[in-house]
Structure 1
Amino acid sequence: MALHIQCNYIAFTWNPNSNPNSSPSPSPSNNNFLFPKTTLTKPYRKFPFLTTQNSFSSLQPSPAHSNAKTPDGNATSYPTLPVETFYEHQSIRDLLGKLSKKNACPLLILRDDGDWTKDQFWAVVRFLKHASRSHEILQVFDTWKNIEKSRINEFYYEKIIGLLGEEGVIEEAVTLFLEMNSHGLRPSLGTYNSIIHGFAEKGNFDDALFYFNEMKKSNLAPETDTYDGLIQAYGRYKMYDEMGMCVKKMELDGCSPDHITYNLLIREFSQAGLLKRMERLYQTVLSKKMDLQSSTLVAMLEAYARFGILEKMEKAYRRVLNSKTPLKDDVIRKLARVYIGNHMFSRLDYLGLDVSSTVGATDLVWCLRLLSHACLLSRKGMDSIVREMEEAKVSWDVTVANIIMLAYLKIKDFTHLRAFLSQLPSHRVKPDMVTVGILFDAISIGFDGTVALETWRRMGDLYRPVEMNTDPLVFAAFGKGHFLRTCEEVYCSLEPQAREKRKWTYHSLIDLVLKYKGRESRSQGKLAHQRYLC
């Protein structure tokens, strides 16, 4: 049979540390790689033949096929795969090795091989998906199914259309959908859902609703999954009124929203800041005794933190704690900022301890706990945290040092400030812009910073590129000092070309600020003199 080949050559960068004959594995940053664009699917895998469970690179022949015997003559028993299964996996490894080569074209490989088994076909599909070459899947499927006409069936069409829809290659998915009808095959509800959700994800709601109506004309009743996909897409495009109308349409069609629908709605309204709608739905879920997903609780917590609604934020936080859901750092920082804004510094320590109980003592945990005592200007509290860090063998970083020194600067404890500055080299802490700012702010109120400056100059720290390595929560708690504010003012006053041309080191920036302050002092002196003459 002659194969008509149309192939777009796309270079695929293969991991040099991987086995070239092994199947490609999904990105570690996306473990749920089959459904990267949605969180509303039911707890089953739509494409089980594309999962990492079909990783063939680790399969080896078993000694059981050699009828191995123990020294006493008894036959040993090994759990193993049949010989034909091993050779099938070997052929898949060889096939993926060909595909991984630069500019490899799957259609040309198929022409040379003559045909593929269904396992080989799905291995190629998976490879193209993870190589970001999903647009080639349609050509491969079209060629492969025409080799054996029995492959033209609902199963293959539904799975390929679903995959293309998930990948956002909706034009190709529609092409297969129309072709499916031309073969007299009846699309399933899942196939329609893939097309509807694919269009909705791209914001093309007219086409999405067209296929929605076509599905109903085909006597296929939409299910909650159908509506959930539309609701999520409306939320993505901030079409919140349409979300409400979709729920009403859902109920009129006799399809009652389930707990997934309600959780989805709460999350979308939370992210939009529509707190009244969010709270109404939350009460509905409670009254119906439905489950609240952990992601929904976190979304509500984030919404209250974003608006600084302290009392409701703390209630939501307790619900999240009771669910034992670990919080991401950005959510923890939002909570911390609310506490700081309300001068509830002691809560930072409790927040740090809560986080530590779930994910361990991270840098953020130490930052929160140390900030708590530093904002309260408690020497005893700061010393206790430093001792805990020493017992846990946790090294200082510049955030830890700056928090402590900012507290001592605020209470003008120059003795402890000098001591901490002298300890920075032994703790291998390099000063950043905040550290420099602390020193010069202290100098401006009478501190002798000669020793610290000389140490930094001798160690070459003043000639390093300017860096800002201090945790942003420190600025939220203590604000920016006079020196840092002056730096920003001077820097912004420069012409754009002057900013980009210079290589900014601490030394050059300090020199610029001091010159600026000198000019400012002279101009103020002239102004005062003129006023005196008047």
Structure 2
Amino acid sequence: MLDYRFLFIFYWWMKQEGYRGREEHFVRFMNMVGMAKMPDIAQQIFDEMENVGLKPTATTFTCLIHVYAENHAYEKSQDLLEKMSTLGLKPNVVTYSGLIHFYGRDGCYDEMARMFNIMRTIGCSPNAYTYRSLIRAYAHAGLIARMEKAFEEMISEGWPPDSSCINLMVQAKAVTVSLTELGNLYELFKKYRILIREPTIRAMAIAFIRASGFYQLGQFVRQVGLRRPNVGNLLWNLLLLSYASNFSMKNLQREFQNMKEAGFEPDLTTFNIRAMAFSRMQMFWDLHVTVLHMQSMSVMPDLITYGAVVDAYVAGNLQPKLSNALKEMQMFQSFPEVRTDEMVFEAFGLGDFHKYCTKFLSSEEGNASPTSYRTLTMAYLDMK
């Protein structure tokens, strides 16, 4: 991090030497102290320009306007805009675009729109940064109609969308569109040759899951490309989840093998997707083999794995055999934790044992002292 005290020492030295700097030096200082959350110092630097024989220009005013806006002092920014007019200086696209960015950052969407309309009224044409700032802000706010209007206008003006715009747009739209429209959203990435990012993959996956579109989820991850290493096991896990949620066990087993053959090592979420499916289907042998496989790969189980075993045996009225199955996991003395991707819960919901643990651990009794799996299991089975 920069030591901003050095900037003031340097500025003092510049004055002592009688150095008559150029405008860009003052602008640089103002930007730096603005980033340091010191708008008052930026104002002093601005005022000092006249003392050294420099007349502030639109560039200098723009810098100070942005410094105040960055520090949420919008009234000061507006006062400076009016002062520019009285001096015959015209705000430019940089001036307005910066204000639009900061208004959007702070959720002031009406003010942001007002700035944009002023630009158009005075003939100051928005640039790519202006439109992207609008789109990002509206996407974060979930203002879909405004976001789409800004996007369409940007394209019609000949400004290309960037990766951030497309990803944020799709994340925002995934929450609201129908299952059919959701399946078409990926076309935007293909059209503009933009790489879909992990948060967008997750947003779309959760939307598919909540709409019970498990088949469409499988199609989506295949479109994205299962061999993308930059998202780890996410795409493979989603593909497995699309089959596990429909209890398509043969396809689940086949794609699990394909995952390994493609060079992707199963992680905790991979195993728990399978464990949850085996548990619900009461496939005890497969559940047993999953636990052994995890041990062979040094993948530590969590509450989801443990709960899958408990729920399967309780639902199958096999409590007498449950003790041996749990001993095999070697978790009795451990403390419960969840390390599984939350999308598994979106698809399967919480198991009965998981629900019980969540309720117990949030209670006064559960908060009193650390609770082991053994204690939780005994209390849960006593309740049954």
User: Structures share a fold, TM > 0.5?
Assistant: yes
**Partner of residue 426, structure 1:** 296
Look up the match of 1:453: 326
Q: 1:367 aligns with which of 210, 218, 237?
A: 237
Q: Quickly say closer, same or farther: Cα 1:412–1:501, change in 2 above 3 A.
A: closer
Corresponding position of 1:390? 260
Q: What's the CA shift for 1:216? A: 2.8
In 2, Cα distance between equivalents of 1:309 and 1:359: 30
One-letter amino acid of the counterpart of residue 279, structure 1: E
- How far apart, CA to CA, are the structure 2 residues paired with 1:289 and 1:143? 47
Whole-angstrom distance in 2 between the partners of 1:323 and 1:422: 46
Change in CA separation of 1:383 and 1:294 when aligned onto 2, cut-off 3 Å: same
Other-structure match for 2:142: 273
Question: Deviation at 1:479?
Answer: 0.6
Aligned CA distance change for structure 1 residues 308 and 451 (closer, same or farther; 3 Å): farther
Corresponding residue number in structure 1 for 2:345: 475
Deviations 1:364-419 (A, max 9, x none): 12211211221232222222222223324433322111111211222232332233
Q: Map of 1:151-162 to 2, 5 A cutoff?
A: 151-162=20-31
**Structure 2 Cα separation of the partners of residues 415 and 388 of structure 1:** 21
CA distance in 2, matches of 1:242, 1:195: 19
Give deviations 1:138-189, integer Å, cap 9, x for gaps: 4222222034223444232122123323443222111101111222211232
| 1:217 CA displacement | 2.8
Q: Structure 1 residues 317, 168: CA separation in 2 closer, same or farther (over 3 Å shift)?
A: farther
Q: CA deviation at 1:454?
A: 2.1
Paired residue type of 2:62: N
In the other structure, the counterpart of 2:246 is 376
Q: Which residue of 1 aligns with 2:219?
A: 350
Alpha carbons of 1:265 and 1:390: their partners in 2 closer, same or farther (altered >3 Å)? closer
Matching of residues 242-391 of structure 1 within 5 Å:
242-353=111-222, 354-356=224-226, 358-360=228-230, 362-391=232-261
Deviations 1:448-496 (A, max 9, x none): 333321223xx4x22122210111110001111111112223333x32x
**Number of matched residues?**
380
Q: Structure 1 residue 440 and structure 2 residue 313: aligned? A: no
Quote the residue 1:513 is aligned against.
Answer: 380
Contact 1:345 1:372 in 2 (8 A): yes
Runs of 4+ in structure 1 over 4 Å off:
357-361
Aligned equivalents of 1:139, 1:491: Cα separation in 2: 53
| Structure 1 residues not aligned, in runs of 5+ | 1-129, 519-534
Is 2:44 the counterpart of 1:175? yes
- The aligned residue for residue 193 of structure 1 is 62
Q: Distance in 1 between matches of 2:38 and 2:227?
A: 44
CA-based RMSD = 2.3
CA distance in 2, matches of 1:420, 1:201: 53
Q: 1:202 aligns with which of 71, 74, 81?
A: 71
Q: Where in structure 2 are there 5+ consecutive unaligned residues? A: none
TM-score (norm 1): 0.66
| Structure 2 CA distance for aligned equivalents of residues 138 and 180 of structure 1 | 16
Aligned counterparts, 1:125-144, within 5 A: 130-131=1-2, 133-134=3-4, 136-144=5-13
2:247 partner amino acid: L
The alpha-carbon deviation at position 357 of structure 1 amounts to 5.1
Q: Which amino acid aligns with 1:303?
A: A
SS of corresponding position for 2:295: coil
- What are the within-5 Å matches in structure 2 for residues 479-498 of structure 1? 479-492=349-362, 494-495=363-364, 498=365
Contact in 2 for aligned 1:304/1:312 (Cα 8 Å): no
Q: How far is the alpha carbon of 1:355 from its aligned partner?
A: 4.9
1:502 to 369, 373, 376: 369
Hey, what's the Cα distance between the residues in 2 that align with 1:216 and 1:512?
Answer: 74
Which has the larger Rg? 1
Could you tell me how far 1:301 is from its partner in structure 2? 0.5
Alpha-carbon contact 2:278-2:286 (below 8 Å) kept: yes
Residues 336-345 or 444-453, more deviating: 444-453
Query: Which residue identity does 1:400 align to in structure 2?
Result: T
Question: Which residue does 2:333 correspond to in 1?
Answer: 463
- The amino acid that maps onto 1:337 is I
8 Å CA contact 1:162, 1:191 repeated in 2: no
Summarize deviations over 1:21-65 as a string: whole Å, max 9, x none. xxxxxxxxxxxxxxxxxxxxxxxxxxxxxxxxxxxxxxxxxxxxx
| TM-aligned CA deviation for residue 285 of structure 1 | 2.6
Q: State whether residues 433 and 467 of structure 1, in contact with CA within 8 Å, keep that contact through their aligned partners in structure 2.
A: yes
Q: 1:424 to 1:296 in 2, by over 3 A?
A: closer
Q: AA paired with 2:98?
A: G
| Partner of residue 408, structure 1 | 278
CA distance in 2 between partners of 1:318 and 1:442 (Å): 41
| CA distance in 2: counterparts of 1:290 and 1:317, whole angstroms | 21
* SS at structure 1 position matched to 2:19: helix
Identity of aligned residues (%): 29
SS at match of 1:268: helix
Secondary structure of residue in 2 paired with 1:285: helix
CA distance in 1, matches of 2:69, 2:151: 26
Say whether 1:234 aligns with 2:107: no
2:342, 2:21 → 1: CA distance? 58
Letter paired with 1:238 = G
Q: 1:433 to 1:207 in 2, by over 3 A?
A: same
Q: Distance in 2 between matches of 1:505 and 1:221?
A: 69
Counterpart amino acid of 1:399?
T
- What's the TM-score once normalised by structure 2's chain length? 0.90
- CA 472–355 in structure 1, closer or farther in 2 if over 3 Å, else same: farther
- Residues 415 and 440 of structure 1, relative CA distance in 2, 3 Å threshold: same
Secondary structure in 2 matching 1:471: coil
